[in-house]
Structure 1
Amino acid sequence: MTFEKFLNFFKSPYFHIGKMLILCFFGATLTTLFPFHDLSLGYVFRWKMAAIWGVSFVMAAVCIAIVSLTWYWFHQPNHDMEDNVWSVARYALYGGALPIILVITEISLVQGVDMLFQHNMQYHLWFYAALIFVLNMYYRSVRLKLRLNDMKLDVAALQEENTDQQSELHIKEEQTTELRASLREKEDELEVWQNENTELRRKAADYEKLYIIEIGNERKAFLKSEIGGFLINAATRVEGGRSIIEMYLLSGESYIDDSESLKGINLMLPEFRLVTRQLLISPESITGYIEQGGVVALHLKFLDEPYMIPGYSWRSQKDWIKEIVDDEKAS
C-alpha cells in the first residue's frame, strides 16, 4: 500500500474513529469480565483486570483496523469480477483468518498455549470471531452503499448526457429540415432557370438561324444548316457522371456540346430527328441505310463508319428515313 493511499484511508467511509472506539471499549469490557461470575468493584478494579482489559482493547482495535484496511485496500468500484471466488477467498483470508491468527498468537505468547484450551478462553475466541464476522458484514454494507452511490451518479450522468444529446439531436433535425427546404427551393429555382435558358436559346436560334455552343471560355455560333447531328459518347463522362454530347458538322468536324440532354437540344432544333436515345441528326445528313438481320446500318455524312440502329428503334424510325433516302435516289 502506498503512503498516499494509506493516508486516504483516514478520509474514506471505511474509517470511523467513533465507531471503532465504542466497539473496542465494549469488546474489551465484555471479553475481560466474561463469564460475569464476579462483578464486584474489588474484583473489577484490579491492575490485573486493567491489563487484561488493555490487551483486549488493543487486540479489538487491531482486528478492526485489519478488517477495515482489507476492505479499503481491495475496494474497486468498477471491477467486473468483484464477486468471484477469488474475491471472496481474499476477504476471508485477510479480513477473517488473519485477525483470528493474530488473536491466537497474542494469547499464546502473552498467556501461554495452555490458556487456549481453557473453558473460558473458548468463549473469548468466539467473541473475537463474532466481532470479525460482524465487522466484515458491516464493511460489506459500506461497500454496497458506495457502489449504489456510484451507480446513482452514473445514472444521473447518463441521464444528463442523454438530455444533452436529445437537445443536440433536436437542433440537428431542425437544421436538417431547414436545409432540405432550402435545397428544394434552390432545385426549383435551378429548374426554372434551366427552362428559361433553354427557351431563350431556342428563341435565339430560331431568330438568328444559329446554334451557339461554348468552347472553353469562348462562345461559337454555327449555322443550323452546317450541323449534321449530335451523338452521346457513353464511354466518356464529365464530372458528376453526365455523358458527353458531341456535335458533328456535315463536314465531319466535331465539338463538345455543354447541353444537358439531346431532348433539350431537340427543343432548340425541332427540325432534327431523335433516332435513338444517343443520336440526334439532321435529315440532310442521311445518305443511306442497309438492313442486316436484326439491325440497320445507317450511313451519315459526318461519320466514317455506319451507325448501327437496333431493330426496335428502326421500326419506329424507318418510315421517315426510307422516305428521305427514296427522295434522294429519285432526284
Structure 2
Amino acid sequence: MSNTETAPNEVDCAASSFAGVLHPREVPLGGPRAIRVRRTLPQRERSLIGAWCFADHYGPHDQRGGTGMDVPPHPHTGLQTVSWLFSGAVEHRDSAGVHALVRPGELNLMTAGAGICHSEVSVASAEPILHGAQLWVALPDSDRDTGRDFAHYAPRARTAGGVTLRTFLGELDGQRSPVHTFTPLLGAQVDLEPGVRLALEVDHRFEHGVLLDRGRVEACGSLLEVADLAYQGPGHAGLELTNLGDEPARLLLLGGTPFTEELVMWWNFVGRSHDDIAAYREQWQQHDARFGRVEGYRGAVERLPAPPLPNGRLRPRANPGI
C-alpha cells in the first residue's frame, strides 16, 4: 500500500520514551473519491514498535456504494509490506513479476529491498466489504538493499477458551510462522469472545503494540477505541487483553526488539539520509530500473508520481529512550 499523501511529512523513525495509546488520523487512499484509512504509525510520539514503522487500518468499507481500493504502481525501498485482510480481496501485482490475490486470514509479505514497485486493487466481486490492515517493516541497514521477494502464508487458527490466535510472523503461544524476517518480529491476530480475559506470555525483549480492529478491549491497562494502538515497552514477560464488550473483539498484536538504527522515512521510501531519499525519488521519476515495472495494471493512472521534497533537508536523528 502506498502513502498517497501529496505533501508527506518527514518522519523521524526513532524509539521514544512514550508509553500509552496512539490514536489514528484519517487519510485518503487513492485520490479524492477513495476510501479513508486510519493511520496509527508513524506518529511524533512514537514512530516505531520494533521494526514496525507504518500501520494503516481500513474498513469495513462497502464497495457497492462507490469506489474501493485502487492504488496505481508506486515504489518502495528499505522495507517490507505486510498485507492482512479481515474481509474482501485485493489483487497485488509487483515488478518482481508476482501476481497474487490477498485474502482474509492470509499473510502476503512483499520485500522491497533496494527497490520495487507494485499496485493494489480491491476485487469487489469476491467480497464487497473491504476490511483490513496494511503494515510496513523497516529493514536493517545490513539488509536494506536485499533483492525483491514475496512470501505467502495462511496460519492455522487455534481456538481455546474463547480465544482464537493466528500467528503470521514470529512466535506466540507455541505457534510459529515459517516466514523469514530480518529482525525479530511478532505479528498475530487475536479474537476474543465477550468477557474473555487473556494473559499472554510474550518475549520480554520485545516492545509490543495492540491495534484494535473491533470491540471494546482493555490492553496494557488502557481502554481502546477502533484503530487505537496501545504500546507496551520491553521488559515485560506478559501482556493482558480483556474484552469488556458484549460482542466479539478482534485485534492485531505487533512486536519486535527495539530498532536502534537511525532512519529517514518519507513518502514510500525508507532510507538513512536526505540524499538517499532524494536519489530514490529522482530515480522513480526517471523510470529507473531500480524499481522495475508492473505489468497488467489497468487503472486510469499509469503510476503514482512522487510528491515534491520539502524545502529543508530530511534529517535522521538519535534514538532517545534506548
Q: Report if TM-score (shorter chain) is over 0.5.
A: no
**Larger proportion of helix:** 1
TM-score tier, shorter chain, comes to: under 0.3
**Larger proportion of strand:** 2
TM score, norm. by length of structure 2:
0.20
Q: Which has the higher contact order (CA 8 A, sep 6+)?
A: 2
